[in-house]
Structure 1
Amino acid sequence: MASDECKGKSSWPELVGVKGNVAEATIERENPLVDAVIVPKGSSVITDFRCDRVWVWVDENGIVYQVPVIG
């Protein structure tokens, strides 16, 4: 399955550089079908693809450093 098969907005490049909690709220507001999950840099995550999940990768300062995408 690919992100183009999921409903609603699937990528948030404009959120790189913002606080993780702000990004989480923005993602869930812009696509209510997903659950945004903040993940600290260096953490391990499940690698299965899901249309209802967005990993929000944050650095040691809680700032998004990678484009959040559905998956």
Structure 2
Amino acid sequence: MDTEICTGLEKEKRKELKMADEFCPGAGKSSWPELVGKNGEEAVKTIEKENEDVKAIIVVKGTDVTGDFDCGRVRVWVNESGIVYLVPTIG
């Protein structure tokens, strides 16, 4: 079951990346694959330093979030240990 959930989240992240490119032209850097496996707090600092137009927000695995798309937001999905497990992407 966890594999199915993870696969669903990965599909959503790919969809968000495509939307960021399409709906947020000129937004600057829109995804941070290099942060997967890193500490969430450090990831937030890196994201906000590399793109000053976004607010990075830590979201713990399993937390419900809204389905809206926001060009000024990056969700940093972390596991129970605070480690980034999905590619942070504008959305």
Q: TM-score, normalised by structure 2?
A: 0.75
SS at match of 1:2: helix
Deviation string 1:7-65 (CA, Å, 9 cap, x unpaired) is: 11000000000000000000000000000000000001111001000000000000000
In the other structure, the counterpart of 2:70 is: 50
The higher radius of gyration belongs to 2
Gaps of 5+ in 2: 1-17
Structure ranking higher on relative contact order (CA contacts 8 Å, 6+ apart): 1
In the other structure, the counterpart of 1:37 is: 57
Q: Which amino acid aligns with 1:21?
A: E
- Cα distance between partner residues in 2 of 1:29 and 1:23: 10
Q: TM-score, normalised by structure 1?
A: 0.95
What percentage of residue pairs aligned between the two structures are identical?
61
Equivalenced residue count is 71
Higher helix share: 2
Gaps of 5+ in 1: none
